[in-house]
Amino acid sequence: MGLADRVLSHAVRYPSSFLCSLSRGGSLGFLSLAVMANYDLTPRIAPHFDRHLVFPLLEFLHERQLYADEEILKAKIELLNNTNMVDYAMDIHKNLYNTEEVPQDMVDRRVEVVARLISLEEAAAPLISFLQNPNSFQELRTDKQYNLQMLNDRFQVRLSF
């Protein structure tokens, strides 16, 4: 059994210590990146995570260079497709394809996102101004029911779970 086989065997038996040594900057130079990529669990666990939890995993894989930069960038764009982080997706697209042009669907999506942001800001403006005014806090009482009723009457704020 060679050294690489022993390390992989150790990694399978004790994955936490193996990953800790990697995260502390440990080097496994004798292992090819292709072999290490075979043991990468990111494709198996990522579908079960929220999108915001997958970004650090992709950054880790990018730093370790287990996959080509293009693959990581394409995965990031795919991850961003159904989010409001359109500007970030556009930046990644520009970086990936070395261009200043972005697809029209990204531009259209950005227009939608900005329009929704503006409408939400307008809808929340009265409540935000109330909360930013130090004198308005004097109107709040220790009675939570009164506060909820007052916020509902003035700003149509409803408590929802």
Cα 144 to Cα 130: distance, rounded to the nearest angstrom: 17
pLDDT at position 101 is: 94
Distance CA 157, CA 56 (A): 35
Q: What is the mean pLDDT of the chain?
A: 79
**Number of domains comprising the chain:** 1
Average pLDDT estimate for 24-40: 64
Q: Note whether residue 20 is domain-resident.
A: yes
Please give the pLDDT value at position 16: 45
Q: Is the pTM of this model over 0.95?
A: no
Residue 51 lies in a domain: no
Residue 27, domain extent: 1-39
Task: Kindly state whether residue 119 falls inside one of the protein's structural domains.
Answer: no
Residues in the chain: 161
